[in-house]
Amino acid sequence: METLIHASKAGSIRGEIAIVISDNLKAQGLQKAKTLGVDTCVVERKLFSSKADQEKKILRTLEEVVIDGICLAGFMHVLGKEFLDNYPLKILNIHPSLLPAFQGLDAVKKALDYGVKISGCTVHFVDYGVDTGPVIIQSAIPIHSGETVEALEKRILEKEHTVYPLALDWFCKGLLVVKNRHVYLSQDIALSSSIQNGFIVPSPL
């Protein structure tokens, strides 16, 4: 979240972070957002009789702000169908694996336990499943022998801080096109040499 706000303010993303919404009153991101001059809102689950009612409140909040898209950042809940139907192919999420491998929670630990040699992160559109939406961009990194979960999480996070702002910038510019689950760029994009290595990006139409 903080990375996206900084990227927006620096002009790396052609869009403004309008609001940060959390279901946790104690979330550290709320204070970070306020410090960076971004409005915040807390919609706690315990204040609503159902998850659907909580999501309706979030939807009303977003309607008041007027937004073009949503970025999930550490929001560890599956959004309901009614919520998703209001923002089709307009909700982005990031996951610490090369999807569709190791969906859901504890993805880094799952990758290490499985013994794969390559891991990474994926920015994708959110659909009705858990980490099953169309893939926008991925970044791959080799797993070191004997690497811990904490060490691999740290290296993946560094990649996340590059790919998420990049994907959001493409989204804000209207460059992302989805056809039969495949995400394409509506024009050829020249990537800087510093981010080309290890990145799997959409093909131009």
Instruction: Give the tens place of pLDDT for each residue, 63-111.
Output: 999 899 999 998 888 999 999 999 999 999 999 999 999 999 999 999 9
Tell me whether residue 68 is in a domain: no
pLDDT category, 201, cuts 50, 70, 90? confident
Please choose, from the candidates 130, 135, 5, 120, the residue with its C-alpha nearest in 3D space to the C-alpha of residue 73.
5
Please choose, from the candidates 8, 148, 170, the residue with its C-alpha nearest in 3D space to the C-alpha of residue 89.
170
Cα 6 to chain centroid distance, Å, stands at: 15
What is the pLDDT at residue 187?
Answer: 82
177, β-bridge pairs = 184
pLDDT category, 144, cuts 50, 70, 90? very high
What is the pLDDT at residue 74?
Answer: 87
161 classed as catalytic: no
Which domain does 120 fall in, by range?
93-204
What's the Cα-to-Cα distance from 51 to each of 43, 46, 55, 125, 137, rounded to whole Å? 11, 9, 6, 21, 30
Tell me whether residue 27 is in a domain: no
Tell me whether residue 10 is in a domain: no
Instruction: Give the tens place of pLDDT for each residue, 111-123.
Output: 999 999 999 999 9
Tell me whether residue 19 is in a domain: no
Looking at 95, 124, 144, 161, which residue is catalytic?
Answer: 95
What is the pLDDT at residue 205?
Answer: 74
How many domains, the chain?
A: 1
